[in-house]
């Protein structure tokens, strides 16, 4: 079940994946750190933020639903 902010988190994951895939086709000048293009490193960070946000939001019971008696 989706919670507040889940769509934004899913967009972060989608954007990071698509950007990382498209960066593999890029030719020419790229900044590189440790042999990995910086754009791909940023994409991995964005994906990590999206996954961490979803994990954080889904860690406990929903607060907007009353507990069953």
Does residue 9 contact residue 53 with C-beta atoms inside 8 Å? yes
Is 4 strand, coil or helix?
Answer: coil
What pLDDT does 49 receive?
96
pLDDT bracket for residue 63 (50, 70, 90): low
Give first-to-last CA distance, the chain, whole Å: 21
Its pTM stands at: 0.78
Task: Give per-residue burial for 16-44: e unless 16+ CB within 10 Å, then b.
Answer: beebbeebeeeeeeeeeeeeebebbbebe
């Amino acid at each position: 079940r989706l919670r507040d902010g889940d769509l934004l988190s899913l967009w972060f994951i989608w954007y990071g994946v698509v950007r990382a895939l498209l960066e593999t086709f890029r030719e020419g000048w790229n900044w590189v750190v440790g042999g990995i293009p910086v754009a791909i490193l940023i994409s991995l960070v964005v994906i990590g933020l999206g996954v961490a946000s979803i994990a954080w939001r889904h860690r406990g019971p929903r607060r907007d639903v009353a507990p069953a008696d």
